[in-house]
Structure 1
Amino acid sequence: MLGAVGTTLLPVVSGCSAIETTDEQAVTTADKARVFIGNMDAGEFNKAHEHLTSKLQQRFTVDLLEKLWAGLEAQHGAYNQVTETEPTPIDDVDGVSVTIECADGTAQLGIATDDQTIVKFDNLADYSPPSYANQSAFTEHAVEVGPQSLPGTVSVPSDADSVPGVVLVHGSGSVDRDATLGPNKVFKDLAWGLASRGIAVLRYDKRTFTQDVPPADKTLETVTVTDAVAAVNRLADVPAVDPQRRIVVGHSLGAMATPRLLNRTDAIAGVMLAAHARPITDVVVDQVRHGRSVIDGTLTSQDKQEIKQLEQTFQQVKNGDIPDEQDVFDTPAAWWKSLLSYDQVATARELSVPLWIGQGGRDYQVSSEKDFQQWQTALSGESNVTFSLYEQLSHLLSPGRGPSLWAEYEYHDNVLAKLVTDLASWISMV
């Protein structure tokens, strides 16, 4: 009988309807997962938070749940529905895999419950190769790079003979050869996409990924430039590669370092993907400000105070008041100083080799308005420079919607196919 005592209403996937269970029916983990997702879809993040154990509540705050949901919709578009729940162990606990359908893609979350609450909550996204990668069109083999013997991989087009070759240069942090971040592998996408189009690609594990580097030695020169130069030299020894057609492709910090690399090597061209033009300290302050305000556009008084403190600390770095080995924003002062002492724009302006500067319009880590436009202003009169802006791309070069945020990187997507094909065409003409 409708409305009988003992009936519980559970929101279904759209957040607009409900399903009924009675006291005699067990409320399953799948049911609880749907309630939780329904709360998130409705913007009821406090209610969603109440479903978590006290331990999970400490890890997943209300604010974090809101940002994770915003990241899902930024990466995959507006939420539509839960299409499937499948029994799946979540960290050795019986749970369900929840498939979420959005406007532009799908995501999978893992949820496990006890009698009352959610005890496990995880993103089950895995990497998958892009559709534009033809794995039968190339082969791969291991190489070592430089005196540090950094492990690397060369992707070589099948039956290649004297093809152009690319070295991929990482962004900041301890990054592997695939530029893995969550379920995303930016460099693997680029390598496989370019190798499928007749271009050999060398990628390697960054020094800070494979070994400990003393804090005072963590400089742009030590952890990026020296090893990238060695990689360009190593590429010349790959039999299928034309040594006269080697090209540097840098991403983020690696893109910012590309002008210096072109001065230090025989590379005939450079590609700069998401390269900051402003001082790194200005870039990071803007990143923090964006991260604190991306949801509702406002900053709390605490946010403002912490940003002010960060600006003051960076000023101390600029003044030389902080020892090289002392951490600033979780990174040794030596690193910040080495970046501040390098003028990437002036260095690029002096180059005569071809440059391709690409930028995502949604990138919040490197601004299309503040950085990309500065590159355009500084180099617009240079006939050797090509500019390409991709409005939908985030810092990871994958498409999305609305403001980008770090939580977007928790969900899988591939580098945009058009960027890969544009890049391959440009390299082939250099």
Structure 2
Amino acid sequence: MLKNFSKQYSILILKIKTMKTNIITICLLFLTLTALSQNITGIWNGAIEVDKDTKFNFIFNIKENGKTYQTTVDIPTQRVNGIKALKTLVTADSLIIDFSNVGMKYSGKFNINRTLINGKLVEGLNSFSLNLSRNSVLETPKLNRPQEPLKPYSYIEEKVSFVNKDANIKLAGTFTRPKENKKYPVAILISGSGPQDRDETISQHKPFLVLADYLTKQGIAVLRYDDRGFGASTGNHSRATTYDFALDVISAIDYLRTRDDVDANKIGLIGHSEGGIIAPLVANKADNVAFIISLAGTGISGTELSVIQSKTMRPFPVPDEAVYEKAIREAIKIAKQNKDISVIKPELMEHYNETIAPILKNLGVPEVKVNEIITSLVAMRTTKWVRYFYDYNPADEYEKVNCPVLSLNGSLDTQVEAKINQNGLRNALTNGKNKDFEIIELEGFNHLFQKAKTGKMDEYSDIEETFSPKVLNIISDWILKRV
């Protein structure tokens, strides 16, 4: 009996020990998961090295919000802050951050103790290695930008917001005006393609900040705002078209007409790049737009511009330009079909594999990389924005515009070639019998209206000048003569 009791006692002790072990294991596992959950939050930073002279620093700030995560990213080398991710997915060994609202995606793998993330950033057609760590934040070289105004300003600056009711989004911006209490003419600044903040920050310059400062000092009030889905504005930029952005501008006009310090009959539009093709859409839908200024805007169809840019901005050589152009035109023709995207994408994939893939392979591009490039090309050709853009010709809208129009393009612009686009605008305005328009090609200026040497995009950040004083003066003088 004592022997049986001893045996049962031993079994009981063993069970208790086993239970304790299981409990400890469970507790340790729980604590580990909790620690891992906590470890992912905070600041992560890294850099993309495009070449030996070009580096872009990234700072990711990951926060926990209940059972989900929220991420914002700053790109200090581009002077871009607060890009908000749509979704952050954390698993046992990986991190995926969806920035599709601004056309980006980050994916990476944690090392064993979650102190390093080996990953890549995909933006449009481009994929870059981007490893993140918790080391001290990388320093960004401070570049001289002498034209940027310093506070306190000599005028009134006000943070404002307005609503596009149809899209159910709030747009946040900045309104500036002289200090005297009276009604002022206003220029609404419309940014170029891609998600932009209210200063149109690009290549470490803030052209809209400089333009707004200059115009306000000349007695012209200015409204500039963050594009939908960017900065402090809500919405999703990647799901919108040029037409949708025009409706955002109309909401801005409606808002300005509620203000006591605005002359409702003197509200005009200044559009840069894509902004220059948004402006005539707005003028033809809204009542009484006072003027349009197109800065580096286009005057040809989206299809023709896409073909030109595919040739002039292509990063690789081709054996036959005519054959290459034919392939691009066929790709656009496939992409613009009135079919479901699920049908178009396989057709495009087949087309690119027959036409572009052989060129890349002959250049020694690995098979895996070729597949990545083709997949990215298909994705880029089938976005909602680009499918609208292909069939949109701003000349058709400019032909119907009856307000004063000023078109400025730089002779060294490598993104929007001056002559062909200004010819398109000139013909449209002439055919439409517009009584007040001026078209000026500015010798020696690039897409940002900097005095340039080559006009190439990689030159933008190296130039100290943000916006040529000569061009600023042309803009303000032209406006003041009309308002």
Partner secondary structure for residue 207 of structure 1 = coil
* TM-score under structure 1 length normalisation: 0.65
Give the corresponding residue for 2:457: 406
- The 3 A distance-change label for structure 1 pair 307 and 353 is same
Partner secondary structure for residue 312 of structure 2 = helix
The residue identity in structure 2 corresponding to 1:429 is K
The residue identity in structure 1 corresponding to 2:199 is D
Query: Is the CA contact (8 Å cut-off) linking 2:381 and 2:387 kept in structure 1?
Result: no
Give the corresponding residue for 1:213: 236
Partner secondary structure for residue 189 of structure 2 = strand
Structure 2: distance between partners of 1:127 and 1:283: 34
Give the corresponding residue for 1:289: 311
The residue identity in structure 1 corresponding to 2:459 is E
Q: Does 1:271 align with 2:289?
A: no
Displacement of 1:272 after TM fit?
1.2
Structure 2: distance between partners of 1:181 and 1:131: 14
Give the corresponding residue for 1:96: none
Give the corresponding residue for 1:173: 194
The residue identity in structure 2 corresponding to 1:138 is Y
Displacement of 1:158 after TM fit?
2.0
Give the corresponding residue for 1:359: 409
Q: Once the two structures are aligned, what percentage of the paired residues are identical?
A: 22
- The 3 A distance-change label for structure 1 pair 280 and 208 is farther
Displacement of 1:240 after TM fit?
2.1
Give the corresponding residue for 1:334: 384
Query: Is the CA contact (8 Å cut-off) linking 1:127 and 1:185 kept in structure 2?
Result: no
* TM-score under structure 2 length normalisation: 0.58
- The 3 A distance-change label for structure 1 pair 314 and 157 is same
Give the corresponding residue for 1:158: 179
Displacement of 1:200 after TM fit?
0.3
The residue identity in structure 1 corresponding to 2:388 is S
Give the corresponding residue for 2:479: 427
Partner secondary structure for residue 142 of structure 1 = strand
Q: Which runs of 5+ in 1 are unaligned?
A: 1-54, 66-120
Partner secondary structure for residue 259 of structure 1 = helix
1:194 to 215, 225, 228: 215
- The 3 A distance-change label for structure 1 pair 406 and 156 is same
Give the corresponding residue for 2:272: 251
Structure 1: distance between partners of 2:408 and 2:194: 21
Displacement of 1:346 after TM fit?
2.1
Structure 2: distance between partners of 1:407 and 1:259: 30
The residue identity in structure 2 corresponding to 1:141 is E
- The 3 A distance-change label for structure 1 pair 359 and 322 is farther
Query: Is the CA contact (8 Å cut-off) linking 2:300 and 2:393 kept in structure 1?
Result: no
Alignment map for 1:11-160 (pairs within 5 Å): 59-61=49-51, 124-126=141-143, 128=145, 130=147, 136-147=153-164, 148-160=169-181
- The 3 A distance-change label for structure 1 pair 307 and 241 is same
Partner secondary structure for residue 269 of structure 2 = strand
Give the corresponding residue for 1:88: none
Structure 1: distance between partners of 2:380 and 2:139: 26
The residue identity in structure 2 corresponding to 1:384 is D
Query: Is the CA contact (8 Å cut-off) linking 1:360 and 1:393 kept in structure 2?
Result: yes
Partner secondary structure for residue 184 of structure 1 = coil
Give the corresponding residue for 1:5: none
Q: Does 1:389 align with 2:406?
A: no
Q: Which runs of 5+ in 2 are unaligned?
A: 1-45, 55-137, 346-375
Looking at CA atoms only, which structure, 1 or 2, has the larger radius of gyration?
2
Query: Is the CA contact (8 Å cut-off) linking 1:195 and 1:201 kept in structure 2?
Result: yes
Displacement of 1:251 after TM fit?
1.0
Structure 1: distance between partners of 2:171 and 2:306: 29
Instruction: Give CA-to-partner distance per residue, 1:82-118, whole Å, 9 cap, x none.
Output: xxxxxxxxxxxxxxxxxxxxxxxxxxxxxxxxxxxxx
Aligned length: 313
Structure 2: distance between partners of 1:425 and 1:308: 45
Structure 2: distance between partners of 1:208 and 1:331: 21
- The 3 A distance-change label for structure 1 pair 143 and 134 is closer
Structure 2: distance between partners of 1:300 and 1:387: 35
Displacement of 1:159 after TM fit?
1.5
The residue identity in structure 2 corresponding to 1:279 is S
- The 3 A distance-change label for structure 1 pair 304 and 275 is same
- The 3 A distance-change label for structure 1 pair 267 and 377 is closer
Q: CA RMSD in A?
A: 3.3
Displacement of 1:203 after TM fit?
0.3
Displacement of 1:134 after TM fit?
9.7
The residue identity in structure 2 corresponding to 1:263 is N
Query: Is the CA contact (8 Å cut-off) linking 1:173 and 1:208 kept in structure 2?
Result: no
Q: Does 1:262 align with 2:283?
A: yes
- The 3 A distance-change label for structure 1 pair 173 and 161 is same
Instruction: Give CA-to-partner distance per residue, 1:13-67, whole Å, 9 cap, x none.
Output: xxxxxxxxxxxxxxxxxxxxxxxxxxxxxxxxxxxxxxxxxx99x94458x87xx
Displacement of 1:187 after TM fit?
1.0
Structure 2: distance between partners of 1:268 and 1:313: 40
Give the corresponding residue for 1:94: none
Structure 2: distance between partners of 1:330 and 1:244: 40
Partner secondary structure for residue 319 of structure 1 = coil
Structure 2: distance between partners of 1:127 and 1:228: 32
Give the corresponding residue for 2:329: 311
Partner secondary structure for residue 441 of structure 2 = strand
Structure 1: distance between partners of 2:199 and 2:434: 32
- After TM superposition, the structure 1 stretch with the greater mean CA deviation from structure 2, 256-265 or 409-418, is 409-418
Displacement of 1:329 after TM fit?
5.8
Partner secondary structure for residue 208 of structure 1 = coil
Query: Is the CA contact (8 Å cut-off) linking 1:182 and 1:410 kept in structure 2?
Result: yes
Structure 1: distance between partners of 2:243 and 2:303: 18
Higher relative contact order (CA 8 A, sep 6+): 1
The residue identity in structure 1 corresponding to 2:249 is A
Partner secondary structure for residue 450 of structure 2 = coil
